[in-house]
Structure 1
Amino acid sequence: MFKQWVLVAAGSALGGVARVALSAGIYRRWGTSFPWGTLAVNGAGCFFIGLLFTWAEERLRLGTAGRLFLMAGFCGGFTTFSTYALETVQLFKSGATFPALVYVVGSSALGLAAFIAGSFMGRLAIL
């Protein structure tokens, strides 16, 4: 059991660092008036987990260790539902109702579309 925890912890650490790096780059480029960084990170995470899930099931036959490290660990540390919730509430509190609604709908649509795209790419073995 300890080995499994270490795999998840290591993957989470790498995913968290990747999340901060990607979001910071996006916020530097596009500003912070809208949560573009979190939207991009969560979309990329959904794509990546869709790809991994398909590869794990159909191509790579990832074992338990690989799934724990990549899917639970890296993807779990990379994506951030709690930040999405916080940023949504902050948009509503600041009176930015329309951007908040766009963020909620856009995040859900992007997440599902990215997962499906990742899964599709995994089946085609393009990546």
Structure 2
Amino acid sequence: MGMYLSIALGGALGACARYGVGQIFFKVVGSGFPFATLFVNIAGSFLMGALIEYMALRWSPSPEMRVFLVTGFLGAFTTFSTFSLDVAVQVQRGDYFSAGSYIMLSVLLSIAGLFAGLHVMRMVMA
């Protein structure tokens, strides 16, 4: 139960942080381009890399703290950070085909999934 509570608390804070970033960007630059999403994806990926490396080299947090930060906070702040870590692991293993396939499939199928969801809801609501 402690793991789930750690994830939930981290997720709540990560989601609030993402919302706050969105509000700041909306006030500063408006809504013409998704700068806030771009920022949280890049920042979240940077934070994921820095955190994973720090945990590998200097800090061995409890399993609850690890899921609080990685799965909870960064997962809610942006799922792009986890995607970036998955790609980095594949590249570091030298599995470039797998990494490239994962990148293409993730982007294309996620976008296709979004359009499929839009289409299904339009059909259901019609």
- Indicate if the aligned counterparts of 1:23 and 1:40 stay in contact, CA closer than 8 A: no
Q: Which residue pairs with 2:35 in the alignment? A: 36
In the superposition, relative to structure 1, how do residues 39 and 50 fare at CA in structure 2: closer, same or farther (>3 Å)?
Answer: same
Q: Which residue of 2 aligns with 1:23?
A: 22
Once residues 60 and 79 of structure 2 are traced to their aligned partners in structure 1, the CA distance between those partners, rounded to angstroms, is 27
Structure number with greater CO (CA < 8 Å, separation at least 6) is 1
Partner of 1:65: 64
Q: Distance in 2 between matches of 1:7 and 1:24?
A: 26
The alignment's C-alpha RMSD in Å is 2.1
Letter in 1 for 2:76: G
* Rounded Cα–Cα distance in structure 1 between residues aligned with 2:9 and 2:24: 23
Deviations 1:1-52 (A, max 9, x none): x110000000000000000001110121111111001000111111111111
Runs of 4+ in 1 over 2 A off after TM superposition: none
- Report what 2:91 is aligned to: none
Secondary structure, aligned partner of 1:34: coil
Shift of 1:63: 2.4
Provide the C-alpha distance between the structure 2 equivalents of 1:48 and 1:63, rounded to a whole number of angstroms: 18
Matches within 5 A, 1:40-51: 40-51=39-50
Paired-residue identity, %: 35
For residue 62 of structure 1, give the secondary structure of its aligned residue in structure 2: coil
In 2, distance between residues paired with 1:27 and 1:36? Answer: 9
Q: Distance in 2 between matches of 1:15 and 1:48?
A: 12
Structure (1 or 2) with the larger CA radius of gyration? 2
For 1:7, what is the secondary structure of its paired residue?
helix
Query: Structure 2: how far apart are the matches of 1:66 and 1:51?
Result: 15
Q: Give aligned pairs, total.
A: 85
